[in-house]
Structure 1
Amino acid sequence: MEQKNSGISVFQRYLTIWVALCMVVGVLIGRFLPQIPEFLNQFEYAGISIPMAILIWFMIYPMMMKVDFQSIRNVGKNPKGLFVTWVVNWLIKPFSMYGIASLFFMVIFKAFITPELATEYLAGAVLLGAAPCTAMVFVWSTLTKGNAAYTVVQVATNDLIILVAFVPIVKLLLGVSNVQVPMTTLFLSVMLFVVIPLILGILTRVIVSKSKGTEYFENTFIHKFDGITTIGLLLTLILIFSFQGSVILENPLHILLIAVPLVLQTFIIFAVAYIACKLLRLSHDIAAPAGMIGASNFFELAVAVAVALFGTSSPAALATTVGVLTEVPVMLLLCRTANRTKGWFDNEKA
């Protein structure tokens, strides 16, 4: 057992290297073995890749097993973390994204891109900014030892707000009157990445605890899944970059230009939420996921809307795709930052 834990520790210690290798492997597959992503792309429904959904399940399921109903009920006793999530995601993030993207695309990068391209890149950035993350938050929460029950409630309430706030915000910032949100994508994502894994996780917890005891579940069974989240993350990276391999190789300069404001926005939003939690004296296991949920994006929704509004090969769709490409490496860096600054929160209690 000691050797196994040591192996996992070494594996996670060099996670950045594994991530870089997986990105390279994904791009090479997309370039030299395009038949593989073409085949996998056939398994898609409502803009959601079924193979990717399966891999995300591998990442989410271990965390969901840590959730029990009592913990969910207790979240209401300390709602400040929820308030931080709501305020940052809906009153700050979409508007800061619009401001930062406008500054870079319309002013700083004016010599490199045409006004027409700048407008569509801005549209793609706004779609990302108005769609805070759903599925991947559970991965970031796991990697930062977040409070599983609290993260579930943060994500669930955020999904409810998306239903009513996404369209008005996009219309306000872009002046687009014909925003058509693919509701099937939205509802299917919530069901696939929140509701179903949560039910299965809780059922697993109840069944194993009843048959083998709570102590066995907490000390032995749950640890059988150690490392699965990380492996699922790396396989997801290979899949994402294989899907986008040709895009990366054909648009290297523009991908870099788009990435700059998106990455800057990610760091700023994380810092705002994370520091707000510190000022409110929240514990680290609430603060870290609160920072992650605003910093990352619901890219399935953003890409689907960009394609519906502007077309598959549009600059707006490219901008949302760059959001997918930059998210995982940047979020892993933020996870490391959150773990290294855990000491800031050691005196706080949940």
Structure 2
Amino acid sequence: MSTFERYLTVWVGLCIVAGILLGQVMPGVFQVIGSAEIAKVNLPVAVLIWLMIVPMLLKIDFRALKEVGQHWRGIGVTLFINWAVKPFSMAALGWLFVGYLFRPLLPAAQIDSYIAGLILLAAAPCTAMVFVWSNLSKGEPHFTLTQVALNDLIMVVAFAPIVGLLLGLSAITVPWDTLVLSVLLYIVVPVIVAQLVRRAVLATGGTAALGRVLHKLAPVSLVALLATLVLLFGFQGQQIIAQPAIIALLAVPILIQVYFNAGFAYFLNRVSGEQHCVAGPSALIGASNFFELAVAAAISLFGFHSGAALATVVGVLIEVPVMLSVVWVVNRSKGWYERTA
């Protein structure tokens, strides 16, 4: 993990402050940016999201799927957590905390939107930072690559139906045309583009050339993420200044969800007899979120000013420190895990 990535939470915090201040000083600029839309898709943000996602997807080698049988127990556990547990547990936590316990403390008009943002955050497993978490936990690299590639393929067909189902249960009108467009724009097309670029680079310069390209593009993803945050908080600034406790309240269900899913995945791997080098990244993949996609989908579906967009940004804010704590637990518990496996 680079110094830039290690202190991502610090940069996120600085971008929050910068966005709020710029939103107060230059509201007209942000209004112009917010109005640059085609079919409910904000063009400046779409460009930034692509700059975030495509470099990350360049790392994915779908040929790794042929090795899926080598760690079938870990694969099965992670798929179960990612697609059968995490979106639904987050929806339940959102309804409990945001829809009930914290309702008197939050803007009434944004309650459903906050819950929608939490659902979007949990509906897609992380595809990029998990390589960092897996490396820090001494995870089996082939398992991590196989799992990420498989999740990407599933996400193409499962993200929209799961989000639509859970938003429907939340009594939120699902704009299916925009949701499908978001899946095409932020999942299907970037996957295709990234794979075409990956093959072209490998064909001309091999793995060394791909490594150089990934190294050069890595900062681009993070800078694009931070620029998106400046825009988001430029629009959300007045609401946050009026009620700064909103971020802390939204963080509660996210934190519970992360630790619950990580612990559940870790436990299931131990019960199944899977190796620790697989259980670690399995727990981390099961707990982390594809927050870049969540932010993009929230903006497309509900807009810059929505509570959904703010809820997904809270996920970005706490992602790094929370996942580092999960890495710490996984590493410290290795002896216990191997004694009781």
List aligned pairs for 1:58-137, cutoff 5 A.
58-75=51-68, 77-105=70-98, 107-109=100-102, 111-112=104-105, 117=108, 121-122=111-112, 124-126=114-116, 128-129=118-119, 132=122, 134=124, 137=126
Shift of 1:157: 0.4
Identity %: 24
User: Hey, what does 1:238 align to over in structure 2?
Assistant: 230
User: Hey, what does 1:39 align to over in structure 2?
Assistant: 32
Q: CA 1:306 to 1:229, structure 2 compared with 1: closer, same or farther past 3 Å?
A: closer
The 8 Å contact of residues 103 and 111 in structure 2, kept in 1 or not, is answered as no
User: Hey, what does 2:264 align to over in structure 1?
Assistant: 272
Is 2:50 the counterpart of 1:50?
no
Q: In the TM superposition, what whole-angstrom CA distance separates every residue of 1:3-52 from its partner, at most 9, and x where no partner exists? A: xxxxx844444333222212211221222122333333244344444333
Is 2:127 the counterpart of 1:138?
yes
Shift of 1:154: 0.8
Q: In the TM superposition, what whole-angstrom CA distance separates every residue of 1:262-321 from its partner, at most 9, and x where no partner exists? A: 4433443344345545654325445433321388973443455457xxxx97xxx42x12
Q: CA 1:82 to 1:12, structure 2 compared with 1: closer, same or farther past 3 Å?
A: same
Paired with 2:219 and 2:117, the residues of 1 have a C-alpha distance of: 33
Q: Which of 239, 243, 248 is matched with 1:247 structurally? A: 239
Paired with 1:179 and 1:61, the residues of 2 have a C-alpha distance of: 27
Shift of 1:327: 1.2
User: Hey, what does 1:174 align to over in structure 2?
Assistant: 170
The 8 Å contact of residues 167 and 179 in structure 1, kept in 2 or not, is answered as yes
Paired with 1:16 and 1:335, the residues of 2 have a C-alpha distance of: 12
Q: Which runs of 5+ in 1 are unaligned?
A: 1-7
Give the helix-richer structure, 1 or 2. Answer: 2
Shift of 1:110: 5.7
Q: CA 1:334 to 1:106, structure 2 compared with 1: closer, same or farther past 3 Å?
A: closer
Q: Which of 24, 36, 42 is matched with 2:17 structurally? A: 24
Give the letter for the 1:150 counterpart: Q
Paired with 1:61 and 1:267, the residues of 2 have a C-alpha distance of: 28
Is 2:202 the counterpart of 1:205?
yes
Give the letter for the 2:284 counterpart: A
Q: CA 1:137 to 1:44, structure 2 compared with 1: closer, same or farther past 3 Å?
A: farther
Q: In the TM superposition, what whole-angstrom CA distance separates every residue of 1:97-138 from its partner, at most 9, and x where no partner exists? A: 343334334653365469xx38x615641563266455x923
The 8 Å contact of residues 93 and 253 in structure 2, kept in 1 or not, is answered as yes
Paired with 2:261 and 2:226, the residues of 1 have a C-alpha distance of: 25
Q: How many residues align?
A: 322
Is 2:325 the counterpart of 1:337?
yes
The 8 Å contact of residues 89 and 294 in structure 1, kept in 2 or not, is answered as no
User: Hey, what does 2:156 align to over in structure 1?
Assistant: 159
User: Hey, what does 1:217 align to over in structure 2?
Assistant: 209
The 8 Å contact of residues 61 and 197 in structure 1, kept in 2 or not, is answered as yes
SS in 2 for 1:138: coil
Q: In the TM superposition, what whole-angstrom CA distance separates every residue of 1:223-246 from its partner, at most 9, and x where no partner exists? A: 444544443433333233224223
Paired with 1:194 and 1:99, the residues of 2 have a C-alpha distance of: 31
User: Hey, what does 1:3 align to over in structure 2?
Assistant: none
Q: CA 1:207 to 1:156, structure 2 compared with 1: closer, same or farther past 3 Å?
A: same
Q: More deviation in 146-155 or 321-330? A: 146-155
> How does the TM-score come out when normalised to structure 2?
0.74
> How does the TM-score come out when normalised to structure 1?
0.72
Paired with 2:259 and 2:27, the residues of 1 have a C-alpha distance of: 33
Q: CA 1:68 to 1:175, structure 2 compared with 1: closer, same or farther past 3 Å?
A: closer
SS in 2 for 1:67: coil
SS in 1 for 2:60: coil
Shift of 1:330: 1.2
Paired with 2:45 and 2:6, the residues of 1 have a C-alpha distance of: 25
Q: CA 1:53 to 1:332, structure 2 compared with 1: closer, same or farther past 3 Å?
A: farther
User: Hey, what does 1:185 align to over in structure 2?
Assistant: 182
C-alpha RMSD of the superposition: 3.8
Paired with 2:36 and 2:146, the residues of 1 have a C-alpha distance of: 31
The 8 Å contact of residues 97 and 129 in structure 1, kept in 2 or not, is answered as yes
Q: Which runs of 5+ in 2 are unaligned?
A: 136-140
Moved over 6 A (4+): 294-297, 345-348
Paired with 2:297 and 2:51, the residues of 1 have a C-alpha distance of: 21
Q: In the TM superposition, what whole-angstrom CA distance separates every residue of 1:57-95 from its partner, at most 9, and x where no partner exists? A: 444444433333432332354444543344334432344
